[in-house]
């Protein structure tokens, strides 16, 4: 008998429902991080910086937003590691990274080359990292779906069905 007929009454999902919101948030964060990285990369070497980022305050904005973006990425990855399966994170992250150059082209050059893009993308990344942290930290059982006994138990339940 085919596997499809064995499980007619059961619906097996590859991605548990509680991982959907953190996965969407992580994908959005990776898109924003990639947009920030592309916008910041246009400011190097120093000779290529716009006048708005060549001043003392501009340098603080440039390096400060880079630090915020990296911290947001690390916080989000550590939080999402508990809940999002690796295969879903790879697919969502790859989609975000590949889409970033196409999305950045939709913004006006004046926005991308100035402080506004760096500040906006870093702030959006910090907000998304906070939302990921809250969505993953809000699990009532405090257990991870990833790795360990939980995966083995899930795999055993699939094999028994």
Query: Looking at residue 98, what is its pLDDT?
Result: 97
Kindly give the residue spans of alpha helices, DSSP state H, lying in the chain: 3-6, 20-41, 51-54, 56-80, 86-104, 109-113, 115-137, 148-160
pLDDT in tens, 32-51: 999 999 999 988 888 878 78
Per-residue pLDDT band for 139 (boundaries 50, 70, 90) equals low
Question: In total, how many domains does the chain have?
Answer: 1
Residue 9 lies in a domain: no
Check whether 119 has a pLDDT greater than 80.
yes
Residue 11 lies in a domain: no
pLDDT in tens, 46-100: 887 878 788 889 899 999 999 999 999 999 999 888 889 999 999 999 999 999 9
Residue 2 lies in a domain: no
Residue 114 lies in a domain: yes
In this structure, what token pair is assigned to residue 108?
């006006």
Q: How large is the average pLDDT for residues 12-28?
A: 88
Cis before 45 (ω within 30) = yes
Q: What is the pTM of this model?
A: 0.78
Residue 99 lies in a domain: yes
The domain in which residue 101 lies consists of: 17-160
Please provide the DSSP assignment of 109-139 as one string.
HHHHHSHHHHHHHHHHHHHHHHHHHHHHHT-
Query: Looking at residue 8, what is its pLDDT?
Result: 57
């Amino acid at each position: 008998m085919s596997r499809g007929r064995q499980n007619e009454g059961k619906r097996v999902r590859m991605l548990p429902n509680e991982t959907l919101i953190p996965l969407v948030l992580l994908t959005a964060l990776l898109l924003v991080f990639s947009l920030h990285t592309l916008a910041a990369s246009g400011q190097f070497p120093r000779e290529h910086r716009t006048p708005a980022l060549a001043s003392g305050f501009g340098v603080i904005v440039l390096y400060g937003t880079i630090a915020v973006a990296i911290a947001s990425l690390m916080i989000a990855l550590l939080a999402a590691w508990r809940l999002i399966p690796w295969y879903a994170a790879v697919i969502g992250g790859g989609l975000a990274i590949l889409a970033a150059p196409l999305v950045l082209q939709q913004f006006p050059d004046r926005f991308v080359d100035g402080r506004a893009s760096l500040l906006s993308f870093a702030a959006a990344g910090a907000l998304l990292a906070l939302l990921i942290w809250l969505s993953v930290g809000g699990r009532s059982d405090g257990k991870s779906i990833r790795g360990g006994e939980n995966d083995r138990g899930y795999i055993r339940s699939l094999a028994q069905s």
